[in-house]
């Protein structure tokens, strides 16, 4: 990946709907060059897809939380299967340190969030959980 590829990714990260013509104009290269680069970035898996990023207006009214889990040995696959079935679980990361998984979850209200946290904490194979409720977003550079 060279500087042109990084510049393409940077512009698409800010606006995934940007046309090939606009990318070419902004980066001062031929449209065919941008098209070829995009195809290569997609083929090699650097670009996995184009997506929608919700703004604050869409996220209002949704409670978000991070949940840290410690899992019993050999229970990870079963726990992941159950987490996958919960639509409120948006992302699951493996971690280093004293926790095994970090979950990002969202719920429409405190009752649903409370119930969800109880379900997760009570799963067979979950040794312990710690929940962090998100209050406000101060910096968001995620693409």
pLDDT for res 50: 83
Q: Is the confidence at residue 126, as pLDDT, over 90?
A: yes
Task: Classify residue 97: in a domain, yes or no.
Answer: yes
Token code pair at residue 129: 């959980």
pLDDT for res 60: 66
Three-state DSSP class for residue 66: strand
Q: Is the confidence at residue 39, as pLDDT, over 80?
A: yes
Three-state DSSP class for residue 93: strand
Are 38 and 60 within one domain? Answer: no
Instruction: Label residue 36 by pLDDT band (50, 70, 90).
Output: very high
| Integer Cα distance of 93 and 102 in angstroms | 5
**CATH number of the domain that residue 32 is part of:** 1.10.10.10
Q: What digits encode the pLDDT tens for the residues 40-85?
A: 999 999 999 887 776 666 666 789 999 999 999 999 999 999 999 9
| Integer Cα distance of 83 and 62 in angstroms | 19
User: Whole-structure pTM over 0.85, yes or no?
Assistant: no
Task: Classify residue 48: in a domain, yes or no.
Answer: no
Q: Judge whether 93 and 102 are in contact, CB under 8 Å.
A: yes
Are 37 and 93 within one domain? Answer: no
Q: What digits encode the pLDDT tens for the residues 2-27?
A: 999 999 998 998 888 899 999 999 99
Q: Domain range for residue 29?
A: 3-43
Are 69 and 120 within one domain? Answer: yes
């Amino acid at each position: 990946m060279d500087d042109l590829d990084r510049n393409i990714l940077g512009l698409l990260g800010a606006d995934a709907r940007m046309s090939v013509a606009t990318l070419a104009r902004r980066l001062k290269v031929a449209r065919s060059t941008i098209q070829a680069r995009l195809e290569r970035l997609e083929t090699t898996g650097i670009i996995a897809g184009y997506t929608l990023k919700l703004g604050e207006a869409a996220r209002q009214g949704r409670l978000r939380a991070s949940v840290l889990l410690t899992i019993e040995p050999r229970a990870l696959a079963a726990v992941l299967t159950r987490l996958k079935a919960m639509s409120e679980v948006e992302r699951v990361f493996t971690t280093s340190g004293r926790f095994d998984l970090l979950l990002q979850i969202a719920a429409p209200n405190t009752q649903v969030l409370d119930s969800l946290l109880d379900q997760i904490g009570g799963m067979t194979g979950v040794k312990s959980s710690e929940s962090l409720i998100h209050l406000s977003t101060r910096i968001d550079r995620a693409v």
